[in-house]
A and B are shown apart, each in its own frame.
Chain A
Amino acid sequence: MPMTQQAAPAVSAPPASGPKKETDGRTSERPMWLRLLARPEVGVFLGAVAVFVFFLIAAPPVREAGSMATILYQSSTIGLMALPVALLMIGGEFDLSAGVAVLTSALTASMVSYQLTMNVWVGVVVALIVSLAIGAFNGWLLIKTGLPSFLITLGTFLILQGVNLAVTKLVTGNVATNDISDMDGFEQAKSVFASTFTIGGVGVKITVFYWLIFAAIATWLLLRTKFGNWTFAVGGNKFSARAVGVPVTFTKIALFMGVGFGAWFVGMHQLFSFNTVQSGEGVGQELIYIAAAVIGGCLLTGGYGSAIGPVFGAFMFGMVQQGIVYANWNPDWFMAFLGVMLLGATLVNLWVRNATTRR
């Protein structure tokens, strides 16, 4: 982290405030709205708006503020992870262990504080160290071996899944952790990670604020710092990035550790809102995070994307998931609806990008 702050004035200015191009008549500048539409997050923004308006019409309960808070909560738990996953994807890698890593973090915090009868904050700190270490391990192994991140993180995914279960069973004697809600520091930690604010009579979960704050930080990191440039560079072509002096190793490991940080944060939220953790959960979530990032305009091949796009991607996921319930559609079709809506949204996204980048 400290390495990024010491960044001197950002070397290359963000696209928005770039120097005025000299026109020589050979290429005519495309109109402003087309250039705006060509940004990675605009397609998904329009998709999210479409889905939102659709459910606003189809499902009357969505119009209430309270329902909106529920949708935002659902979106935020996906979105908090989709952010670091998106940054990693821009950096050219992805992480299949992200889903179970959330559980690893929550299990660690819970077991450390319970088994040693410690203040829960001790568990929280240990879990952070463990989560960052897992991220660092992923990144380090990737750099050392040169294997694709698919293989490396598939390995960690399986390891973590097994370790989650086996260690929990070994330590607690059960497959779920013990209830820590009566322990010292729990209320404090709950207020940090899992509290609810009342705004205009509506209870809004704190994760929603963290989600937006982290999105702002990620955007700043990506567009205004040297680290952001490095991220784009290593995702585009790591050999040429290395050739021009980008610290590829540092950037990739840091990006994986970012995912570790996200997993820790979401893990803490789960632990402090549900008091206990079941060791079998989290499997399959990694695909949701990756999907939210891809829908949010990040390319699976790396080097392109934004931090604000996944915010809308996660919102779209939350909106569709809850909207189907609010609309009271036949639940047998639940997953199929979800799939169709998401494919549709992705196609809108793709169409907008194609239509606007064409001359």
Chain B
Amino acid sequence: MDRTSRPRSRRLPVLVAAAAATALIATGCSSSSGGKEAEESGENIAAGKASTPRMTVALVTHQAPGDTFWDIVRKGAEAAAAKDNIKLIYSAKPEAAEQANLVQNAIDQKVDGIAVTLAKPDAMKDVVSKAEKAGIPVVALNSGVDNWKDMGILSYFGQDEGIAGEALGNRLNQSGAKNAVCVVQEQGHVGLEARCAGVKKTFKGKTENLYVNGTDMPSVKSTITAKLKQDTSIDQVVTLGAPFAMTAVQSVSEAGSEAKVATFDLNKELTGAIEKGDIEFAVDQQPYLQGYLAIDTLWLYKNNGNYSGGGEAPVLTGPAFVDKSNVEAIAKFAAKGTR
């Protein structure tokens, strides 16, 4: 307070820096390769628009902020909503109790349908039955494959994580891997553990879990590197998310290891790595499809009484393998962030 004149003089360097940045831009520092200009896609998928009366649907997930996977789910749901003349309300909270509150919130708003993920089924049980009592149809997606039927939910869209893990394990048997490490980016996550357990079940070689801190990429990288050095017989790294697969590739080269990298889930960087051969293959559960089908089914149910799976069998959206043989066809969709 006693030095009111000082801060003013200190603004100078900031101004100079800002001016310098502007000058840089003005003098043509533009990149001749890459960047947005190189990648303007524009054409998004859009079918016609339904002439049915406008309805409101809530999609409530357990997304953690900033996860690329859920971004794709949401885009699928939005595409279906746009086509079906639906007003989509999206909300998400990773904590089970708060997610249940969000569902309650949707019931209070008297929506025409609810799509929900069941990462922690027990916490969601009460609120789902409340919705059913209120006459709101509920579909489940992505997680809760073992619980949705008991809860009286209309349809389930997703991948059985155990089955997906088993499929990946079988695939590794074909490629002749002997010693695999399964990289878990979030300790105590049921779905992730189920994937690694599935791999362990069918894979004939040795499998071991490695826990990394998913919110700190440099630490993920050095932890995988450390593991590869500790056990040089590891010839296969399995990651449970696309960004971690990209990091694992760096770890493998840093550790001087010969290990191959395979992963669950897909994003646009990953398709490039599969094309280059850095990553062997990805098991895709098609999150776009999960979001799309869940919303579309609620529309069909309201307007024509149909529902997928008939309330008996889950509708599986994966596991779909993406490898060198089919990556070319998929890459262009991944680039738009929809596959």
Contacts and interface: CB of A to CB of B under 8 A. Distances in A.
Contact of A203 (B17, B25, B33, B254): B254
A186 B21 CA distance: 17
Given A61-B230, A331-B210, A121 B3 contact: no
Contact of A129 (B1, B14, B66, B267): B14
Contacts of B225: 70
Interface string B33-65: 111111100000000000000000000000011
Contacts of A174: 68, 71, 337
A335 interface: yes
Majority SS of interface residues in chain B? helix
Contacts of A67: 226, 229
A70 B222 contact: yes
Contact of A276 (B209, B216, B250, B269): B269
Contact of B218 (A73, A118, A173, A184): A73
Nearest to A284: B215
Contacts of B209: 331
Given A113-B35, A183-B34, A281-B216, A70 B229 contact: yes
Contacts of A247: 3, 6
Nearest to A176: B68
B267 A176 contact: yes
B222 to A, nearest CB: 4
Interface in A55-79: 59, 61, 64, 66-67, 70-71, 73-74, 77
Q: Among the interface residues A74, A121, A169, which one has the most CB atoms of the partner chain B within 10 A?
A: A74
A253 to B, nearest CB: 8
Interface string B240-271: 00010011001000111000000000011100
Contacts of A269: 218
B34 A180 contact: yes
A300 interface: no
B134 interface: no
A121 B215 CA distance: 26
A114 B29 CA distance: 12
Interface in B1-32: 1-3, 6-7, 14, 17-18, 20-21, 24-25, 29-32
Interface in A213-268: 242, 247, 249-250
B217 interface: yes
B5 to A, nearest CB: 12
A28 interface: no
A175 B226 contact: no
A195 interface: no
A186 B39 CA distance: 17
Interface of B: 1-3, 6-7, 14, 17-18, 20-21, 24-25, 29-39, 64-68, 70-71, 187, 208-211, 215-219, 221-223, 225-227, 229-231, 243, 246-247, 250, 254-256, 267-269, 272, 337
Interface of A: 59, 61, 64, 66-67, 70-71, 73-74, 77, 113-122, 125-126, 128-129, 132-133, 140, 161, 164-165, 168-169, 173-176, 178-186, 203, 242, 247, 249-250, 269-270, 273-276, 278-285, 288, 318, 321-322, 325-328, 331-332, 334-335
A-B interface, 8 closest residue pairs, ranked by CB to CB distance from nearest = A280-B66, A117-B35, A183-B34, A182-B34, A184-B31, A279-B66, A74-B222, A119-B29
Given A126-B21, A174-B71, A334-B211, 17 more contacts: A61-B229, A66-B256, A70-B254, A73-B222, A74-B222, A77-B218, A118-B25, A175-B66, A181-B34, A183-B34, A249-B1, A249-B7, A270-B217, A274-B246, A274-B250, A280-B66, A285-B215
